[in-house]
Each structure stands twice: as structure tokens, then as C-alpha cells.
Amino acid sequence: MRQPRDTLKNPQQELRIFRLRSLLAVVIVLLLSGLLAGRLFYLQVVQHEKYSTRSEKNRVRVEPLPPTRGLIYDRNGELLAENRPTYNLTLVRERVDDLDATLALLVDLLDLPADQVEAFRERSRQRQRPYQPALLMSDLDEEQIARLAVNRHRLPGVEVEAQLLRYYPDAEAMSHVLGYVGRINTEELQRVDAGNYAGTHFIGKTGVERFYEDTLHGQAGLRKVETNARGRVLRELGHTDPVPGENLTLTLDKGLQHLAVDLLDGRRGSIVAIAPQTGEILAMASVPGFDTNQFVTGIDVASYRALQQDIDLPLFNRAIRGSYPAGSTIKPFMAITGLRDGEITPDEVIYDPGYYQLPNDSRRYRNWLRWGHGRVDLERALEVSNNTYFYSLAHELGIDRIHDSLAQFGFGTRVAADVYGQGTGLLPSRDWKRARFDQPWYPGETLSVGIGQGYLQITPLQLASATAVLANRGDWVKPRLVRETGDVPMPLDLDDTPPDVELEHAEWWERVVSGMEQVLSGNEGTARRAGAGLEYRMAGKSGTAQVFSLGQDQRYNADELKERLRDHALFMAFAPVEDPQIAVSVIIENAGGGSSHAAAPARAMTDYWLLERDHGEIPPEEEADIEGEG
């Protein structure tokens, strides 16, 4: 198998072979070098442009500069929503020399709780992009900041970062009307202009904060920065300043709002006050409220669940979403409807035996006074809140005309120009009933609507708004919450302001108003106790609403059952009669026995607005006039 072989080595042959092979190697080396050179030519000459662009994109990053959110003031310039700087302690791992020593020093300086340090260590174990500041502690107080400043040189990589955080000084009283901001969620990110919100962490969730989000937010600025691949900013190449959000001046009066909340005194209910001539919402309270500041930083699950499951529904904005039977507060509007449609005149008298019977029907629709009020005209019907009068009127008008007329006062619609989340209440009609129940409208149901019961449901805001229209003798001004955005006053005439309500004889307005004045001032007035000692002329109407439940899923326990079956107390009023400055609606849930419970708060509201408030703008002699009329 093995050939006999010359065991002598042959140096010449070996050298020859080696030289040949090295020559071949040189050729291959040159070929491979040519391949590299070709690759370089392709990258650096042929594709140069493409890679230049890519390299440029790598280098320059555009960073958004979030605008500062606009502030919110009340009508007197009192701050209702501000931006407070809070300070967070952050740590950049890459710049910290000795993490353990640094943490130990921080624990020493700040009394940092051990579990917070442990949590931080846990978080920093997870991989993250380098040079990203990691949050170690939020909301530092001034002493802590000072201690850090003094020890700054010993703490490389440790930084105190300022962040503007929304703060509501009157959180509880203003919670529903003002709303609050919270962290943007993904759903909201899809709604807003992503570019403009790129650096923004908070967005208006409800209330004014939500409705005026665009105004308050402002325009984001841009900063072109040179960065490295780790996102570390090396230098700035240019920037556009952000445009801060505009400040809002609300129509609300902080004092009146607080008064409204105080008047409700922890009872579930709502008070809305409107300046009739301008539509300015002066107060809009829904009690109970909650601390909106909790929601800015992110409320914890337990607290949120507690709020959600609270039987008093603190998160529910009763003023704009609560639906209540109007009760007798609907009667002035029924009266106007009857007058306008010619079914009654102010002097027409009906006889009340204590009940009303539909023709060809034996069922008796009772007055609240079993034995009746006897002879009743329009004004007395309002003063004593006679049901029979309005049963009769409702029957003659029929549901169709009642529906159309009440709609003109704003019932069944969202009345305010700039209030987020308004409910519509319920203004029933034949069509509605057909669609809802697939049933015809029965005449008896018209009678119920005529005294504010049955299917009819209103919101406190609607009632206040309709009262303002009544106070204006039919002139519509849409309720609004904002007076000025930036320094620009909000226009009074809005495109979608409903048409004014008109009567053939203008003095008929005064007859209705007169009847309402008697509610507070007349001998038989249902709210005469609340009207005692009036220093100005005030018109009002009480109402009692049979109970309904706010939510289907509400759970009642036996003790509360009784209380929550009581009637709701309602009152609507405006004053002064001859020159209305304020229209109020008050609704107190389950206040029980008699509507006077709601009349007193209404009186307190008008008293405050007309007498007690420090009017900068009202001259002294005018005040004397009011005094004289009382």
C-alpha cells in the first residue's frame, strides 16, 4: 500500500512548492483585498448618500418641549387651578461612581425608607436604556432639597428634577365643576394630536379641564438635540419655544360656590346659580365631592374603589347629570305654555275640589291638599302650588304642546355652552314613549307631566337655566362657565343659542312672576318661611319629587332604605324680580318633609349674591335702593 519512499528530504522541492504556494497566497490576498476595497467603494461612494442621511438621522433628535398648562381663575381672579413645581429625586446609574455608597448617603440625608431603596434596587436590576434617569423619590420637601444641594458634590449622578403638577386649592368644593387632569392614557393619545402632546403627561379628564383642554394645553415646542445612541443629549442644535396654554377666567364665584357647598352641608344634592342676563354660571355645586388632587398624581386603587363604591356617589356630578322629577318647579313653565297657547288667561279661575277627574274617567288625580284650594287663579295656583289647576291645564294642552314648549326652556337638551358631560334629563313625548315602551301615550300620563312627575326628569343645571330664561322674561342666554380665555371675553351671543320664548302680552310674564313672588312672600306661599324678611323682591317655586333611584346597581341597606325613599326637595328662584341678578336651582335628595328644605338654601344664595358679597362694581346708592325695597 505504501510506496517505497525516498526518506531524504528535498529542500529545493520544498522551497519551490512553498514559493508557488506563497505566490498563490499573495494572489488570493490581493483578491480578498480587492473584495474589501470594492465593498468600501460600494458603501462610501455608491451608497454614500443613503448612509449620510441615515447617519444624520441618527445624530439629530427632535424633542418635544411640553407647554405649561393654563391657569384657571374664578371671576374675581382667585386661583382655582395652578401648576405647582414638585421635585423628584432621580439617579443616573452611568454617572454614579459607587451606587451602594450613594444610596447609603441618600438614606442618611433624606431618611429614605428602606423599602423605597429596595424597590429602587429591584427596578434598577431590570435592564433599561443607559443614561435614563431613574426615579428614586418623588415630591421632595424643601429641607430635603436643601440637604441635597449642600451635598451635591458628594452625589454625582443624583439629580433633583422639577415637574409641574396641577394643584387645586379648592379641590373638594370645585371637584365636579372644575374637573381634574390625570395621566394621559392610550385612548386619549389617539384622540389628541400626538405631536402636540408628545411631551405632555397630563390631560383634562372631566369638567372645565376637559372641555377647555385645547385652550389650556397650549402648543408644544421643539428642541433639536444631538444625542448619542443611548439617548444622552450632548448639545442643542436649536429650538422653538412652546406656547403656554391660555389662562381661563371662569364665571364662577368662589365665595358663592363655597356657600353652595356649605348650604348642602353634606347632604346629597346640587345647587346651581346663573346670572340670567349673561348666562354666567356663578356656582355649580354637587355634593358630595372628592379631592381631585388625588387624581392628578394617580389615585391608589383602594381609595378609588372606596369612592366608586360609596353609596353617596361622590364621583357623580349631580348638577349636570343627575336626573330628578321636576316636581312643582315645572309649574311656572306650564303656566307660560298655557298662556302662550291661549288655553288660559291670568285671570281665569278654576274650582279645585281637591282632585281632578279626566272626562269619562272615574279616577281622581289628587291635589296635595286633600280638601282642595277652592277657587284658584294663575297666581294663586303658583303660590299654593295647586295641582288641580295644572292637571286641568295639562289636559287641555296635551303632551305634544307641553313637550314642545318645555323643550324651548331647555328641558331634554344640553343647555350649557361649555360644560363637559351634561346629561339631558328626560322630556317625554309620544314618539319617545313609542320608541321606549312601544306603547301609546295615555292622557293620565300628561297630567303627571303637568305637575312635574311621571316620565319627566330634569337636571339641576337645566332647572337653573330655565329659571334664568323665566327671569329674563323669555330671553335666552346660554349658560357658560368661562368668561375669558386668555384675555379674550367669551361672546354672549352663541350660534346655537335657542330662540327666545315669546308671549302675546308681555305683562303676562309679570303675572307668572308675581305668582312666584307670592311663593315666598304670600300668606299662603309654600316657601313663605324661607321668604321671611326679604330685603329684595324674590320669585321662586318649590317642588317635591317622588323618589327614584340614581343607579340601577345601587345597593341599599335596611337602615338607609327609609331615608332614601323620602322625597327630594327642589327649589328654583331668581332675584331681584325687577332686575334679575341671579337664578338658582336647589335640589336636595331625600330631604323629606316639604320643599321648604330647598327654599332656605336658595334664599341664602340670593342673599349672599345681592347683599353680602363684596360687589366691587355696584355703586353704594344702588345698594341703598335694594335696601329700601326690602
Partner 1 sequence: MAMVDVLLRRPHPVKPTASGMSRKRSLWERIHLDPWLLGLLLALMSAGLVVLYSAGGQSMHIVIAQAIRFGVALAGMVIIAQFSPATLLRWALPAYLVGMLMLLAVEIMGDMGMGAQRWLEIPGVVRFQPSEMMKLAVPMMVAAWLSRRELPPRWQDLLVCALLIGAPVLLIARQPDLGTSLLVAMAAVFVILLAGLSWRIIGVLAALAAAALPLLWMNMHDYQRQRVLTFLSPESDPLGAGWNIIQSTTAIGSGGVWGKGWLQGTQSQLEFLPESHTDFIVAVLGEEFGMIGMLAFLVLYLLIVCRGLWLAGAAQESFGRLLAGSIILTFFIYVFVNIGMVSGILPVVGVPLPLVSYGGTSSVTLLAGFGILMAIHSHRRLLPR
Annotated catalytic residue, options 286, 328, 385, 596: 328
Dig out the grid coordinates for 440 from the structure: 301609546
Q: Quote the least distance from Cβ 230 to partner 1, whole Å.
A: 6
Kindly identify the residues of this chain, within the stretch 365-394, that bind partner 1 according to CB under 8 A.
none
Q: In angstroms, what is the minimal distance from the CB of 291 to partner 1?
A: 43
Q: Pairing state of beta strands 72-73 and 248-250?
A: parallel
- Alpha-carbon span 590 to 564, nearest angstrom: 6
Residue found by looking up cell 450613594 in the block: 102
Q: Is 19 in the site for partner 1 (CB under 8 A)?
A: yes
Distance CA 476, CA 498 (A): 6
Q: Does 33 sit near partner 1 (CB under 8 A)?
A: yes
Cβ count within 10 A of residue 425: 25
What is the footprint of partner 1 within residues 193-222 (CB under 8 A)? none
- Beta 248-250 vs 482-485: how paired, if at all? antiparallel
Closer residue to partner 1 in complex, CB, 12/552: 12
Q: How far is the CB of 157 from partner 1 (least distance, A)?
A: 18
Main-chain dihedrals φ then ψ at residue 424, nearest 5 degrees? -105, -10
Closer to partner 1 by CB, 21 or 363: give it.
21
Q: Would you give the binding string for partner 1 spanning residues 229-258, x where CB under 8 A is met?
A: xx-x-x------------------------
Specify the amino acid at residue 171.
A
Q: What is the DSSP letter of 71?
A: P
227 binds partner 1 (CB under 8 A): yes
149 neighbors 250 (Cβ within 8 angstroms):
no
Tell me the closest approach of the beta carbon of residue 44 to partner 1, in angstroms: 4
Q: Do 428 and 455 form a contact (C-beta atoms < 8 A)?
A: yes
For every residue of 343-401, DSSP letters joined together read S--TT--EEESSEEE-TT---EEE-SSTT--EEE-HHHHHHTT-HHHHHHHHHHHHHHH
The SS3 of residue 606 is: helix
**How many residues interact with partner 1 (rule CB under 8 A)?**
47
Shortest distance (Å) from residue 229 CB to partner 1: 4
Q: Return the DSSP state at 458.
A: B
Please tell me what DSSP assigns to residue 523: T
DSSP per-residue codes, 27-60: HHHHHHHHHHHHHHHIIIIISHHHHHHHHHHHHE
Does 27 sit near partner 1 (CB under 8 A)? Answer: no
Residue whose CB is less far from partner 1, 23 or 135:
23
CB of 29 or CB of 306, closer to partner 1: 29
E strand or H helix that includes residue 225 = strand 221-227
Tell me how far, at minimum, the Cβ of 53 lies from partner 1, in Å. 8
448 assigned to active site = no
Instruction: Indicate the residue among 7 and 186 with the shorter CB distance to partner 1.
Output: 7
Which of 19-27, 87-95, 241-249, 435-443 is the region at the interface with partner 1 (rule: CB under 8 A)?
A: 19-27
Considering the complex, state which of residue 59 and residue 210 has its C-beta at the smaller distance from partner 1. 59
> Is residue 63 part of the contact set for partner 1 (CB under 8 A)?
no
Residue 129 lies near partner 1 (rule: CB under 8 A): no
- Residues 36 to 55: which contact partner 1 by CB under 8 A? 36-37, 39-41, 43-45, 47-48, 50-52, 54-55
Of 227 and 323, which CB lies nearer to partner 1 in the complex structure?
A: 227
Identify whether the C-beta of residue 201 lies closer than 8 Å to the C-beta of residue 166: no
CB of 176 to partner 1, least distance (A): 46
Contact status: 437 vs partner 1 (CB under 8 A): no
Q: Looking at 90-98, 224-232, 374-382, 567-575, which segment touches partner 1 (CB under 8 A)? A: 224-232
CA distances (Å), 70 to each of 67, 167, 178, 472, in order? 9, 12, 13, 34
Cite the active site residues: 328
The site for partner 1 (CB under 8 A) is made up of 5-7, 9-15, 17-19, 21-22, 25-26, 29-30, 32-33, 35-37, 39-41, 43-45, 47-48, 50-52, 54-56, 58-59, 226-230, 232, 234
